[in-house]
Amino acid sequence: MLSVVCWKWQPFNGYRSTYTAETVNVLKRMVERHYPDPHRFVCVTDDPRGLDPGVCVVPMWNDHADLTHPSSPLHPSCYRRLKAFAPDIKAVFGPRFVSVDLDCVIVDDMRPVWNRTEDFVGWGGTTKPASSFNGSMFLMTAGARPKVWRDFNPRYSPGIAKTAGFYGSDQAWISYCLGAQEARWTVDDGVYSYRLHIAHHGRLPENARVVFFNGKKDPWSPELSGLPWIQQHYR
C-alpha cells in the first residue's frame, strides 16, 4: 500500500504562504478522487487540529528545524523533510511512499505517476542544472537512498550543494547527492509547474495530471482561485 505523505508546520513570521488544516484536507480529497488504488494519507505536522479523521498524523520532528535557506532566510527551508530518507523511515511511512507538497492541484488519474516501480523517482525539469530535482514531489521505497540523510551535515552540506550549482534547501541537497542517473517525472508524465509552464497563458495542458505552485502564488491565491480548472479540481 502506498503512503501519500504531506507536510505542514508553522512557518516563520512573514512567510509568503499560509497552510492550514483545510489545505491538508483538500489534498486528501484530491488524492481520493484521483488515486483509486489502496493508499494511506499521512500528514507530518506540528499542529493536527482540524485535520479530517482519515488523516494519519505523524508528529513533526525538530531535526534541522532552525536551519535556514542557504540563499536567504526569507526563502522556504525544508531541511527537516530530509528525514524521509532515513534508513528506518519505513517504520513511520511504510515500505513505499510519495511525498507531495500541499500547494498543488491534482487534475487526473495519478496511477501512471505514482505506480512507477523504480526505488526512487523525483520531479525534474524545473531548475538548473538538468540533474536537479524539485522537492515538491518524490516517490521512493523507504530507506532506498539513506546517504541523503546520513551524509547531511547542517554546517557544511547546504553550502556544498549551493556551490555545486543546485538551488533550494532540501531539494538542492537531494539533487547533489543523487545526480542525473535517477528516474524522474517531467511534463511528458503530466507533472507541471504553474509558474514555469502555465502562468503565461493560464490554460491547463491536455496531458496534465498534477500542477505544482512552486513560487509565490498558490492555488488558493485570490488572483488564481477563479481559474475554471482550479475551481473544478481544488476542492
Question: What pLDDT was estimated at residue 144?
Answer: 97
CATH class of 2-103+114-186: alpha beta
User: Mean per-residue pLDDT for 65-82?
Assistant: 88
Q: How far is residue 127 from each of residues 66, 86, 123, 175, 201, measured CA to CA in Å?
A: 25, 25, 10, 10, 20
State the chain's maximal CA–CA distance in angstroms: 46
What cell numbers appear for 38 in the block? 489502496
List of long-range contacts for 225-233, beta carbons under 8 Å, 24+ apart: 227/202, 229/105, 229/107, 229/204, 230/105, 232/107, 233/30, 233/105, 233/106, 233/107
What are the residues whose beta carbons fall under 8 Å from the beta carbon of 195, sequence distance 6 or more?
A: 213, 214, 215, 217
pLDDT (tens digit, 9 = 90+) per residue, 144-164? 999 999 999 999 999 999 999
- State how far the Cα of 31 lies from the Cα of 45, in Å rounded to an integer: 18
pLDDT (tens digit, 9 = 90+) per residue, 92-137? 999 999 999 999 999 999 999 999 999 999 999 898 898 999 999 9
Calculate ∠ Cα 196-119-23, nearest 5°: 45
Question: What pLDDT was estimated at residue 179?
Answer: 86
